Amino acid sequence: MIGHPLGVPGLTVGLLGGSFDPPHEGHVHITKQAIKAFNLSRIWWLVSPGNPLKEREPQTISKRFHASKRIMQHPAVTITNIESSLRTRFTAETIYKLQRIYPGVKFVWLMGADNLVNFHHWDEWNWIVKNVPIGVLARPGEQIKAGLSPAAVRYRHFRIPAEESFRLSNLTPPAWTLLIGPMRNISSTELREKGVWP
């Protein structure tokens, strides 16, 4: 499995973290959307060892990593298990270490609108907002809740209009935006319940 992907100074890299248990077309859709909307050089899928906010243990990281590689095939996207080699459990730790390993790379944290709803429960979430621009992508039924979430309300003055999202990677944090647009109504939870794996 890929540990540390290539990252050279000047690159703009979107970080899409998650369990990917299983990965699905919704992940693929928001990844392609983010590349265009945020003018990113690359996107790294960070297949996490586990999610501290979820009680359920995911499938093995090897299975999730290889499934991710099968479903997400794009020249600008790298599937990586770097959090395993960094030995990080929380997003803030991962971002902190990546910014030190790749000092010339401009990172953007990517997440679905459903994650923004619960973002204030994440470890060191205020630190994340203040240290990396954040691109939030549309998820069915989550737009209004995301816009009214504690994180969105606290940092409302740092929200940039969706039509200016291409500037996000060059802005000094705090800086975030919430994209709307075509969505795929699919979730990993739903697929697991149906016993579907790619």
Spans in the chain with pLDDT lower than 50: 183-184, 188, 191-192, 197
Helix, strand or coil, per DSSP, at residue 54: coil
* 130 φ, ψ (degrees, to nearest 5): -85, -5
Residue that is written with structure tokens 């009214």 in the block: 148
* 44 φ, ψ (degrees, to nearest 5): -105, 120
pTM of the model: 0.87
The CATH fold assigned to 12-193 is Rossmann fold (3.40.50)
